[in-house]
Amino acid sequence: MKILMAGDTHMDLEHLQYLVDVASVEADSRLFVLGDFGYWEHVPAGILFLDKLDGYAGSKGVTVYFLDGNHDKMSMILERYAEDADDEGFLRVRERIYYAPRGHRWTWDGSSFIALGGAYSVDKRQRLRWEHTLGAPAGSSWFPEEEMSDEDMDRILANGNLVTVILAHDKPRDSEPGWNRKDLDACLPNQERLQRAIEVLRPCHFFHGHLHHRYTEHMEFRATDSRILDVRVHGLDCNPDPRALDLFDRQLQSWVIYDTVSRAVVMGGPKDLASDSNDPDWTPYVDSRAGRYAKPMEAELAIAIAREYVDEMEYNDDTAHDYCHHRRVIIALLEEIRRLRLLIDS
């Protein structure tokens, strides 16, 4: 079985439709988003997003799985769907959308998995300021349950059965991605918990998002039995800026394909992005039909308005970390303009 692993999608419906398209052709119709999926069902836009994605995934025969990131309202998922689990233990959010709770284990074709969602929000102060300024209820933009506690990890690791793959939102403490914007002291406790999970569970692969940066690293670690082992850590990029001149390349950097039988990883992006490029299990993704999955903007007007919106953003240390949050506004704007353009053209 081949599974499309994807980085943060941030409620970006267009990017998720692109990923669904890729999964329907290149993988076995399974897409797994590694947190910051865009679960915001406490607002109308979040409900509409889930409904639209569910309909599109159904039309392509693709099932979408996700674990929680720091910007997903995980407590609401459990409140609404804890009693609606499928035979594999995933919580059914929509007919084609399933959530993997923290600590959930399952096996696909001989590869065993565990989901370890959550992370610390470096933009916590900004999100709390938004809630206060807008008079929004607590837990509207920043979610107190955003990361696991030490007690949560203790409980998860009490089952010490080894796994083939760890799926997480955050990086493990000892990985060195080369570019890391989540290196504040407050970020480290969650990363240390994930490092501990690696030492206990001894996976072959560790996939994560959160950093919005594509890299692959062979990371050595000391297992709990004192043996020195290594794990391949794969960090995936997020949904790209739709204005980017290198949009197609950025899209490719946001996903990889994992083969549950061979345990090989097929990279979505250029070969020189991977530090394990000489690994025999590494395969570059080559698409002879250039732009096969690229979805260029149809309306020049939409691009112009989106650019104007971005240019007016205050881009400083506080807001830079939450750039993708603003992108949801841009995407909604683009979708509305496309709808109106289609009405005019028809």
Task: State whether 124 and 53 are in the same domain.
Answer: yes
Task: State whether 231 and 331 are in the same domain.
Answer: no
Task: State whether 77 and 16 are in the same domain.
Answer: yes
Of 79-83, 200-204, 256-260, 292-296, the poorest mean pLDDT is in 292-296
- Beta partners for residue 146, in sequence order: none
Q: Which residues contact 154 (CB under 8 A, 6 or more apart)?
A: none
Q: Which residue has the tokens 């083969």?
A: 259
pLDDT at 324 exceeding the cut of 90: no
| 228-235 and 205-208 beta bridge pairing | parallel
Task: State whether 180 and 131 are in the same domain.
Answer: yes
Return the beta strands (E) in 148-306 as ranges: 165-168, 205-208, 215-222, 228-235, 255-259, 265-267, 282-283
Specify the pTM.
Answer: 0.79
Is 165 in contact with 112 (CB distance < 8 Å)?
Answer: yes
Pair of tokens at residue 280: 């025999």
Domain that holds residue 330: 297-346
Task: State whether 76 and 122 are in the same domain.
Answer: yes
The C-alpha angle 107, 111, 113, rounded to 5 degrees, equals: 60
Read off the pLDDT of residues 253-280 as tens digits, 9 standing for 90 and up: 999 999 999 999 987 654 333 334 344 4
Task: State whether 201 and 71 are in the same domain.
Answer: yes
- Beta partners for residue 266, in sequence order: 257, 283
Phi, psi values for residue 206, rounded to 5°: -130, 115
Is 192 in contact with 198 (CB distance < 8 Å)?
Answer: no
Tell me which of 94 and 281 has the higher pLDDT: 94
Give the C-alpha separation, 195 to 111, whole Å.
20
Q: Which residue has the tokens 């391949």?
A: 232
Task: State whether 168 and 204 are in the same domain.
Answer: yes
Read off the pLDDT of residues 6-61 as tens digits, 9 standing for 90 and up: 999 999 999 999 999 999 998 999 999 999 999 999 999 999 999 999 999 999 99
Last residue of a domain, one of 255, 277, 294: 294
Tell me which of 191 and 284 has the higher pLDDT: 191
Q: Considering its fold, how many domains does the chain have in total?
A: 2
